[in-house]
């Protein structure tokens, strides 16, 4: 977003904050602006008890003027690029007789830097307020502003060229401003603050409206957060009450069992069972002989009759 000033009564007043003495020394002023008509108005005016000590204003002859103690007029005619966002700026070194350098950026043309006349410092002045919109009585700005800034130094042409001011607000902040105002509020009810934290914040508002920002311009600051790893110390722990147990195999005893009674039931057809049968101890019928090792059972076709020995039988045990 940007802020529209209608040329009728729109204006914003800011506190001076830490910029109170800026007119006494080196200074650079930059603004990203779209002029809407050929007129007289105020881009920025710094006053002390109502008397102007520093200012920048479009005039109705097509030129922009910059003044501290004395003034100079622009080398360009802004009426040739009305309704086009441009970056306009002026810088001077400290002291008297300092040359003012004009800066102009236009899309498709890039930067041009022009040395103008000389002006003096405003010795002894202490600015207590900045105003955007109103310049002199009846002279009100008819333009849209995306961002403007004051720097307490004369920025070099190379630094301005390299910063990329036409791309994002972070670039403006990278040049270490003394005051930085972004007009990116979604509502005019949100006060404009000095993004440097220097206290040159909005104190009064008349009118204005929200406007569109320059194409391709990011009108917000990138927040950089540096994350670090927290170091930790691995502290070994002591075991004070350990007990050790010896594990072994438990011995077992095989206990033989005795069969004391056997009943033989009638069997139907059976098939040959090749299942080995191992016996070491157990009862057998009286006429059966027992040899060690597996035995093979033989059957004949047809039902077989089983002889039932009722009652308990005496088993003969063969050892060997």
The domains of the chain are located at 2-211, 256-320
Average pLDDT over residues 64-91: 97
More confident call, 291 vs 191: 191
Say how far apart CA 147 and CA 31 lie, in whole Å: 6
Q: How far apart are CA 171 and CA 155, in angstroms?
A: 13
How many residues belong to the chain?
A: 320
Asked if pLDDT for residue 208 goes beyond 60, the answer is: yes
pLDDT at residue 222, rounded to an integer: 74
Confidence of residue 307 (pLDDT cuts 50, 70, 90): very low
What pLDDT is stored for residue 235 in this prediction?
A: 55
Q: Give dist(CA 320, CA 316) in Å, integer.
A: 13
Average pLDDT over residues 49-70: 96
Q: What's the number of CA atoms in the CB half-sphere (13 Å) around residue 221? A: 14
Region 10-23 average pLDDT = 98
Task: Categorize the per-residue pLDDT at 78 as very low, low, confident or very high, splitting at 50, 70 and 90.
Answer: very high
Instruction: Please report which confidence band the pLDDT of residue 225 belongs to, taking 50, 70 and 90 as the band edges.
Output: very low
Tokens coding 115: 């040395």
- Between residues 216 and 297, the one the model is more confident about: 216
In sequence order, the 6+-apart residues with CB closer than 8 A to the CB of 146 are: 2, 3, 32, 33, 85, 182, 183, 184, 213, 214, 217, 219
Q: What is the CA 46 to chain-centroid distance, rounded?
A: 38
- CATH value of 2-211 in 3.40.50.150, 2.60.120.200, 3.40.50.2300, 3.30.365.10: 2.60.120.200
Rounded Cα gap, residues 209 and 9, in angstroms:
12
Query: pLDDT tens-digit profile of 115-151?
Result: 999 999 998 999 999 999 999 999 999 999 999 999 9
Q: How confident is the model at residue 224 (pLDDT cuts 50, 70, 90)?
A: low
Short-list 129, 116, 117, 138, CA closest to 53: 129
* pLDDT (average), residues 180-192: 98
Q: Is the pLDDT of residue 46 over 60?
A: yes
The span from the CA of 108 to the CA of 147, in Å, is 20
β-strand pairing of 51-58 with 42-48: antiparallel
Closest by Cα among 52, 258, 41, 232 to 140: 41
Q: Which residues contact 113 (CB under 8 A, 6 or more apart)?
A: 101, 102, 103, 104, 157, 160
* Residue pair 167/111 in contact by the 8 Å Cβ criterion: no
Helices first, then strands: H and E counts in the chain = 2, 15
Give the whole-angstrom CA distance, residue 111 versus residue 227: 37
pLDDT the model gives residue 279: 44
pLDDT band, very low/low/confident/very high, at 266 (cuts 50, 70, 90): very low
The predicted pLDDT at position 108 comes to 94
């Amino acid at each position: 977003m940007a802020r529209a000033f209608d040329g009728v009564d729109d204006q914003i007043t800011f506190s001076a904050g830490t910029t109170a003495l800026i007119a006494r020394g080196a200074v650079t002023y930059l603004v990203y602006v779209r002029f809407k008509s050929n007129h007289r108005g105020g881009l920025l005016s710094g006053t002390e008890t109502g008397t102007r000590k520093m200012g920048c204003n479009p005039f109705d002859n097509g030129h922009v003027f910059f003044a501290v103690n004395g003034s100079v007029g622009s080398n360009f005619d802004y009426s040739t690029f009305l309704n086009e966002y441009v970056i306009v700026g002026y810088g001077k070194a400290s002291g008297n007789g300092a040359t003012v350098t004009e800066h102009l950026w236009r899309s498709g043309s890039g930067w041009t830097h022009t040395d103008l006349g000389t002006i003096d410092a405003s010795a002894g002045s202490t600015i207590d307020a900045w105003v955007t919109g109103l310049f002199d009585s009846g002279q009100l700005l008819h333009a849209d502003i995306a961002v403007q800034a004051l720097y307490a130094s004369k920025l070099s042409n190379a630094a301005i060229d390299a910063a990329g001011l036409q791309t994002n607000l972070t670039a403006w902040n990278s040049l270490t401003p003394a005051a930085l105002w972004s007009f990116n509020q979604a509502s005019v009810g949100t006060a404009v603050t000095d993004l440097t934290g220097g206290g040159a914040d909005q104190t009064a508002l008349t009118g204005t409206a929200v406007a569109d920002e320059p194409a391709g311009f990011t009108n917000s600051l990138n927040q950089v957060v540096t994350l670090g790893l927290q170091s930790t110390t691995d502290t070994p722990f002591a075991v004070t009450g350990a007990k050790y147990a010896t594990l072994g195999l438990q011995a077992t005893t095989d206990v033989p069992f005795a069969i004391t009674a056997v009943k033989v039931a009638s069997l139907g057809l059976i098939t040959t069972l090749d299942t080995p049968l191992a016996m070491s101890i157990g009862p057998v019928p009286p006429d059966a002989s027992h040899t060690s090792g597996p035995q093979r059972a033989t059957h004949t076709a047809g039902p077989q009759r089983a002889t039932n020995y009722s009652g308990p039988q005496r088993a003969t045990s063969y050892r060997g």
